[in-house]
Amino acid sequence: MKKEITSKWLSLYLAVGMILLLFTQCQSPPPPLENFQKWETITLDFTGPASGETAEVNPFTDYRMNVVFSQGEQQLVVPAYYAADGQAGETSAEIGAIWRVHFTPNSVGIWDYEVSFRTGEMIAVSNQAAAGTALAPDGQTGQFEVVAPSGTHSGFQAKGRLVNKGGRYLEFAESGELFIKGGANSPENLLAFKDFDGTYSSDPKKQFIKEYKPHLQDWTTGDPTWQDGKGKGLIGAINYLSEVGMNAVYFLTMNIEGDAGDVFPYRSHEDFTRFDCSKLDQWNVVFSHAQKKGLALHVVTQETENELLLDDGDTGPMRRLYYRELVARFAHHYAIFWNLGEENGPAPFSPKGQSTQQRKDMIDWLKTNDPYQNPVLLHTHAGRDLKHHILDDMLGYEALDGLSMQIGNRYHVYDDMVKWWKKSKESGHEWISYMDEIGWYWMGAMPDQDMPTHDTLRQEVLWSTFMAGGSGVEWYFGYKYAQSDLNCEDWRSRDNLWKQTKIAMDFFVDLPLREMEPMDELLKGEQAHCFAKKGDTYVVYFKTPSPAYLALDELPGNVEVKWMNPQTGEWLEDKTLSLKGGAPIELTPPANSQQRDWVALVRKE
């Protein structure tokens, strides 16, 4: 009997096994997860309620989509935006039902996402997750896989996001290399470009809308355009700036009531609740190309003339809405700075300005709502007293990553850069400092045709900034000369200046910068500066060919001295010397009647 029961159960097991096997064979395997590479920007579109830029229920204020991306304990809340028909840059559409999010993953593995989509009056500027009422596609979920980067990408994607890990220099999250900035500070109204939809100036006396015709020659086949070939002039200009070795570009995103009144993300100057979807899509085409070409985006969000335009300077509903749109559309880019505004704060020529608390509120909002924690900078006034009046109250404020310095007198650059670096370090929060706008305000960086060698800028601004521990330079063009700060359409007008800037950038990026500091106390001599890591590397910059003595108490043994011409980048190998370290050495610049300034690099042999 026992044997019979066993046989029956065995037959049953075999039958069930066959059924399961057949069932398994009939089922299709689950589809593989879509995969992306680390640092690749992922764009997801969702269908929501049909709306439009002028719809009665405002899609920019009364709907709010956030997408929560998570991987283990890491969770990023990324704001989405209304994208009209999803192709507005090409179609100039004002209506549609597409909401879009951009996400740049920082780690490999499986990522999950969930959509939060809610409606309610002015809900877009609320940080309360449960505010308003949920509607489709709220709760929609998905998953994808992120794999290691292939190593075939160009521009910043190959390096990862630009991040602040403390100290005077930003670095790239993937490659670990430091970011030494060099670029264009002018034209400030770079985005006043005729090929962008809805671009105009509200003041008939201020007509600076640009075409960038001189840079049409720099556009190449395969570069982006929109609407049957629009955009070539500005895309070509981006190509040129990258090709001459620069890695940053400065521009305003809102200058209503400012110097030109021709850059704004809105449909008009009058309504700050309605954005121009097609224009902003077209901006992003240019921004994406700039990132591919290795140009960081220095986004200056306002001017001194309009810093009270939104909410009287507070971070109220209009300012939060403006910053939310910028973050949602552009924060995913790899190298981007948020600048609180050109010449932020009151000054005699602009007595109504934002207060310290208003400044901190802006920074806090950005740090809370930008999922990538992109660096936040503060652009200063030119005068020394004004800097103290505004910056003293910001010292030690950790949410502010650094300064975008304006210095009215170019002969003050070294002293001012050292002073504010020291003050920030003593406060417990060391600022990154960029020399971004050099005076005199009417002159700035003159065109090559007016100043071919740029000797004063090279000596008193470019090299003085780096020797003072500054992290980079952008060149402002003033207003008196051709191709000025508001009307420049040809960056070739400063070709010689870009070349000299690239020489300095290349020189400093190869040094142990994190361990180096300004150390003029080691130097005895006139018109010279020392930047050093004691016992290892010393850079001495001579503004004149007068000799100087360098103390090397902490560098015993043989040292090597090499000389470089900072105007040409030429190394004079025949001037390489091996000296006995541990005692002061005399450094005498090479004799050359055509060259006054020199760089000495002193290292262990």
Residue that has been written with the tokens 């504010």 in this structure: 420
CA 169 to chain centre: 13
Cβ–Cβ < 8 Å for 119, 69? no
Q: In 558-570, which positions are buried (b, 16+ CB within 10 angstroms) versus exposed (e)?
A: ebebebbbbbeee
Task: Give the end of a domain, one of 463, 478, 510.
Answer: 510
Do the domain assignments include residue 168?
A: no
DSSP code at position 270: S
Residue that has been written with the tokens 């004149």 in this structure: 544
Task: Give the end of a domain, one of 510, 529, 563.
Answer: 510
**What domain range includes position 217?**
180-510
Do the domain assignments include residue 8?
A: no
Same domain, 468 and 333: yes
Predicted confidence at residue 408, as pLDDT, reads 97
Q: What is the mean pLDDT of each run of 10 residues along the chain (605 residues)?
A: 39 41 46 89 98 98 98 97 98 98 98 98 97 98 95 88 97 96 98 98 90 98 98 98 98 97 97 98 98 98 97 98 98 98 95 97 98 98 96 98 98 98 97 97 97 98 98 97 97 98 97 97 94 96 95 89 95 75 89 87 90
Which CATH number does the domain housing residue 556 bear? 2.60.120
Task: Give the end of a domain, one of 494, 510, 526.
Answer: 510
Residues in the chain: 605
Of 532, 529, 465, 525, the C-alpha closest to 500 is: 465
DSSP code at position 284: H
Same domain, 146 and 243: no
Same domain, 74 and 122: yes
Q: pTM of the full predicted structure? A: 0.94
Predicted confidence at residue 22, as pLDDT, reads 39
- Total domain count, the chain: 3
In terms of DSSP bridges, do strands 548-550 and 537-542 run parallel, antiparallel, or are they unpaired?
Answer: unpaired
Do the domain assignments include residue 7?
A: no
Which CATH number does the domain housing residue 383 bear? 3.20.20.80
Predicted confidence at residue 574, as pLDDT, reads 63
Cβ–Cβ < 8 Å for 94, 84? yes
Same domain, 314 and 447: yes
Of 321, 345, 332, 271, the C-alpha closest to 299 is: 332
Same domain, 435 and 520: no
Do the domain assignments include residue 345?
A: yes
Residues whose CB is less than 8 angstroms from the CB of residue 510 and which lie 6 or more positions away in sequence, other chains included: none
Same domain, 442 and 498: yes
User: What is the Cα–Cα distance from 179 to 129, expressed in whole angstroms?
Assistant: 36
Same domain, 566 and 506: no
Do the domain assignments include residue 421?
A: yes
Same domain, 396 and 296: yes
Q: How many helices (H) and strands (E) does the chain have?
A: 11, 28
Same domain, 485 and 527: no
Predicted confidence at residue 9, as pLDDT, reads 39
